[in-house]
Amino acid sequence: MVPSLHIQCSEPIMKQYESLNEFMALRRTQKVTSFHLKCNSDHDCSPRYLGQWVYEIVARKVEQVNISLRHINVFDEVALFTCTTIVNLKLNGPFSIHIPPSVHLPNLKTLHLNTRKCSFKIASNLISGSPALELFLFNDHFNDYKIMRNSRVIQFSKLNALYHLVIQSEPPHDFISDYCQGRELNIVKAKVYMTVYRAHAERIVAKILKSLRNVELLSFSYFRNEMDLSNFDFPLFKNLVELRIFLKDAVSLIMGIILVKCPNLQVVEVNIVDDCKSCRYYANGGGRKHDLITVPICRKTTTVRKRLRTSRDLVIV
């Protein structure tokens, strides 16, 4: 029995191939459940020998695969992407990945790709052939992606130096396929959380929000003063029923623009960090909820500049 086969070497793969090939030849009928290969060689790794090792572990019904290579241009091991027994797969290295047209990974639950030459669009092609996938982690030069699926939630996350985008829904409304295929307008029964970290990102943020303009809940956060929301190109959200806004201060917040762009809005929650205050507006009247001071929505152009608190309500003028 060879439950685990872990190889870590500083020499090129071809230097290790003969001894490993002889070792595996004596164990043709034995199952290898875990395969871990880490090659730190400064020389090019031979795709031929790598392919032979992948073939051997796939034939032995491998379940855990972790491959880390420093010097290889293209990872082109098709057999790995049609292995029906793999549960966890991790690929790490500065290489691109050749993904075959037909991916069949029925038992894959965790997929972690840390590459520099593979785009998210290409990597996401693995998702359609992985129906049991629960966790997908992908890293490139600029972005960290995370997709999580379980019985309680479907969640997508994209994090970079400019912003953090999170989309979340309940399992019956799985949106992952639509997002990966560029069909974001089909995403309706979902919640979007957008946090902006840098100024001068208005165009990028507006483009993202425009592609997600059919969702029902939006949370927008920005904790710096450089972005003037009065000039922000806020798209039309015809399905939006709840909007949450988190700002450093309220100088640039214009409620009238938001209300016009969200005709079916029912609840607006405004959080001003500098003042440590929150208020929630309702379309159908006020009332307390979750200890937030609330007042009815007034459908007039109102700039939030001053807060006058009474014993019952927080009035925005």
Residue 294 CB partners (closer than 8 Å, separation 6+): 279, 280, 281, 282, 286, 287, 288, 313, 314
Look at residue 137 and tell me if it is in a domain.
yes
Q: What pLDDT is stored for residue 315 in this prediction?
A: 30
Question: CA separation (Å) from 16 to 22, 298, 305?
Answer: 11, 73, 70
Q: What is the mean pLDDT of each run of 10 residues along the chain (317 residues)?
A: 68 60 64 84 66 83 90 83 95 86 94 84 86 93 92 95 95 93 94 87 87 95 68 85 81 63 85 71 51 41 31 31
Q: What pLDDT is stored for residue 293 in this prediction?
A: 45
Q: What pLDDT is stored for residue 168 in this prediction?
A: 97
Residue 42 CB partners (closer than 8 Å, separation 6+): 70, 71
Look at residue 223 and tell me if it is in a domain.
no
Look at residue 13 and tell me if it is in a domain.
yes
Q: In this structure, what are the phi and psi dihedrals at residue 258, rounded to the nearest 5 degrees?
A: -65, -45
Domain with 135 in it: 1-141
For residues 255 and 268, the answer to whether their CB atoms sit within 8 Å is: yes
For residues 314 and 287, the answer to whether their CB atoms sit within 8 Å is: no
Q: Strand locations in 106-215, DSSP E?
A: 110-115, 135-139, 144-149, 154-159, 163-169, 191-196
Q: What pLDDT is stored for residue 13 in this prediction?
A: 58
Look at residue 27 and tell me if it is in a domain.
yes
Look at residue 81 and tell me if it is in a domain.
yes
| Residue among 52, 22, 26 at smallest CA distance from 37 | 52
Look at residue 34 and tell me if it is in a domain.
yes
Look at residue 162 and tell me if it is in a domain.
no
For residues 137 and 111, the answer to whether their CB atoms sit within 8 Å is: yes
Token pair of 13 as six digits:
């793969």
Q: In the chain, what are the helix, strand and coil shares in percent, each to the nearest 5?
A: 20, 30, 45
- Cα separation of 206 and 201, whole Å? 8
Q: What is the number of structural domains in the chain? A: 1
Look at residue 316 and tell me if it is in a domain.
no
Coil, strand, or helix at residue 38? strand
